[in-house]
Amino acid sequence: MKRYFKIKPYVSYEKTQFYTIEEVGKGVNETDEFFIRFKDDPDNQKDIETITYWIQKIGKESGALERHFRLEAAAGAIPITVSKLRLYCYRISDELVILGNGGIKSSQTVHKSPDALPHFEIMNTVAFVIQMKLENEQLEIIGKNISGDLTFFIK
């Protein structure tokens, strides 16, 4: 079954624009879904605060420098610090990041973490789709803005 997604603006700061992805017809984007799922769980409160801190620090102070991301494939994760929660994302430049969803990384590798793996795979697909659309001139990136065909399917 194909799932239809759209890239949408999420939050903009002086240094970095964050986008997110939303499955069409779902009514909530993937990043908000992540925060909704974990925000009220006391076991994850510190990790949620850390992720929120890093999004704001990247956006307001430093920009999306590579060193702020835990690179695990084409997709990366926030935070870079020790945390059992991962918010998966695709860093396009110092000024532009696509945030996805995430989960609990319960083992040494994401491939053995059933809660995190589907979100990791989606963000790697997003990274692939964006690269293909850039190469085919279906997308354009200027500074903090991405424009063009912001929709895609995932099987």
Question: What's the pLDDT score for residue 70?
Answer: 80
What pLDDT was estimated at residue 26?
Answer: 94
Rounded to two decimals, what is the model's pTM? 0.92
Q: What is the pLDDT of residues 8-44, one digit of tens each?
A: 999 999 999 999 999 999 999 999 999 999 988 999 9
Note the pLDDT of residue 74.
85
Which value, in Å, is the radius of gyration of the alpha carbons in the chain?
A: 15
pLDDT range class, residue 67, cuts 50, 70, 90: confident
How do residues 72-117 score in pLDDT, each as one tens digit? 778 888 866 768 899 999 999 999 999 999 999 888 888 888 888 9
State residue 71's pLDDT score. 78
**Which contiguous run of DSSP H or E holds residue 49?**
helix 45-57
- Residue 151 reports pLDDT greater than 90: yes
Predicted confidence at residue 109, as pLDDT, reads 82
Could you give the C-alpha distances from 84 to 71, 93, 107, in angstroms and in order?
15, 26, 9
Reported as a pLDDT band with limits 50, 70 and 90, residue 121 is very high
Count of other CB atoms within 10 angstroms of residue 2: 8
Quick one: tokens of 109?
Answer: 């590798």
